[in-house]
Amino acid sequence: MLKKYLIIDIGTSSLRVAVENENLEIEKIEIFKRIAEPVFDPEDEWKTIRSMLKKLISKDEKYEAIIASALVGWVGVDEEGNAVTPCYSYAHQCTDEYEEFLRKNINEQVFHVNGRRVSAELGVFKIQYLRKKYPEKYKQIYKFISLKDFINAKLCGKLAIDHTSACYTMLYDIRKAQWSEALIARAGVDKKLLPELIRPYEIVDFVTEKACQEIGLQETIPVVAGSVDGSTGILGGGGTSARKAVSVMGTTDVFFIVTQTPVEDKSQNLVINPHVVPGLWLVGGPMGMFGGTLEWYTNHVLEKSKSLEELNKEAEQVTPGSEGVNVFPSLSGERTPFWNPHMSGIIWGIKPFHKSKHIYRAMLEANGYAVKKIMELGIVSGVACDYVIALGGGSKSDIWLKIKADIIGKSMKRTSIEEATMAGACKLAMLATGIPVETFPDIPIEKEFIPDANVNQIYGQLYRAYMQLHEQVKNII
């Protein structure tokens, strides 16, 4: 009998709960489609997840553990783990607090300690925002935790945060693996608000009797810490050894290269995280809303008059460079590798002869250019990859993967793992319950997209032109 795990995946566009076995096979799944706004009610998320779990759980099945992964979001809670603030997601940009901090500090001081440049989406600025704008709510906060850890608290009653999620507060020292006294002091944050640190593959506690009744469990099971969805997806996609890169192509694209050491990124435009499994690091970062921009374009601009399948076929007919159209898909500001919260989405270079297929292909190319920029910055810092594993909804598009391969000059390998974040969460739960990393199932490769040397050369020129245009555009936004 295969061991089974309960998996919770809180994404930008959906909630998913599943029963997954040790072969990484999803046996049952419940999906609730919704768009997570920049600010939303975490208690409503819990109610939905609770009811989904109750539908999924069978009294005849035995589960080894339960684990959650989630988008980057932050919640202030009281001592009982009840939300006293909304959840502020990564899309909630605290630009005033961010700019005030930068007036008094410089990026280098933060980057060396925290492994990322200062950005308006980081958790520390949500704390400052709440303190300034909602002082009464702020006074009620006992701990400031990630959305995933809020769900864990509902399950087991304990308030803690995993080390990888803690990085996204800007208050964590990646090399010392602890809260940074220096950054806490610079930000003027009360350290008492920060929860206990725990590894993503460790057990937080066990499901409480109350939660067992609420979700339909017959007996208590361990609650594994888990981590943020992007890094968890990297694990799920096979990112378990150095020189592997993984691109999680969802609403946002998350791109990381696996390395054995925490490098010094001279550009300070990459994110350096401890991996969710021991002994490895991730260099890259969460990117812009590439999948989200495609969804916006098809649903709101084309008003669903064309399917993604039709657009993909049409994009194949367009030459590299989309006949002069360039897209900057920055619907919620820019993340890795540009870090500009003020940047808006732009379609540049439209002429009378251009059609929807040109704009669509230009959106796919924009993703390839951003990945190439990350890879260039990585090489300067001594980090390189041999190929890129692609997964997530966007990886189903052959033309998208071929374009990315041609731009970056590396093979794109599509896996047959459809739910990479869930697979990664399942692996963490397996690790927490005694199954070593070395015995994890191999990730099957469904199809490989090899770069065309001639097209790669053409894209080299187009990439340089795109980067020059990006520099010009960002100065007028």
Please state whether beta strands 222-224 and 203-206 pair in parallel, antiparallel, or not at all (unpaired). antiparallel
pLDDT at 266 over 90: no
- The average confidence (pLDDT) of the chain is 95
Q: What is the pLDDT of residue 344?
A: 87
pLDDT at 477 over 70: no
Here the tokens at position 282 are 């991730």
Contact 389, 442 (CB under 8 A): no
pLDDT band at 390 (very low <50, low <70, confident <90, very high): very high
For the stretch 11-38, pLDDT in tens is 988 999 999 999 999 999 999 999 999 9
Q: How far apart are CA 128 and CA 93, in angstroms?
A: 12
Q: What region, left, alpha or beta, does residue 175 occupy, with left being phi > 0 and alpha being psi -120 to 50 degrees?
A: alpha
Residue 278 in this model has a pLDDT that exceeds 80: yes
- Evaluate whether 231 touches 256 at the Cβ level (below 8 Å): yes
Strands 222-224 and 66-70: parallel
Residue 341 reports pLDDT greater than 90 = no
Cβ 94 vs Cβ 142: under 8 Å: no
**What integer is the mean pLDDT of 310-324?**
98
Residues of the chain with pLDDT > 70, as a percent, come to 100
User: Does the structure show a pLDDT above 80 at 463?
Assistant: yes
Alpha-carbon distances, residue 181 vs 105, 152, 184 (angstroms): 15, 26, 5
Residues 288 and 76: their CA atoms lie apart, in Å, by 26
Does residue 372 carry a pLDDT above 90? yes
- Rounded to an integer, what distance in angstroms lies between the CA atom of residue 387 and that of residue 96? 40
Q: Is 476 buried (19+), middle (13-18) or exposed (0-12) by CB count in 10 A?
A: exposed
pLDDT tens-digit series, residues 88-144 = 999 999 999 999 999 998 888 899 999 999 999 999 999 999 999 999 999 999 999
* Confidence at 264, pLDDT banded by 50, 70, 90: confident
Domains annotated for the chain, with CATH where assigned, are 4-229 (3.30.420.40), 238-416+444-477 (3.30.420.40)
pLDDT at position 288:
85
Query: What number is the average pLDDT over the span 458-466?
Result: 98
Q: Annotate 336-374 with DSSP letters as a single string.
A: TTT-BTT---EEE---TT--HHHHHHHHHHHHHHHHHHH
Confidence (pTM): 0.91
Mean pLDDT of 148-169: 98
Bridging pattern class, strands 160-162 and 196-198 = parallel
So what's the pLDDT on residue 192? Answer: 98
Contact 166, 174 (CB under 8 A): no
Confidence (pLDDT) at 340:
87
Q: Are 73 and 106 in contact (CB under 8 A)?
A: no
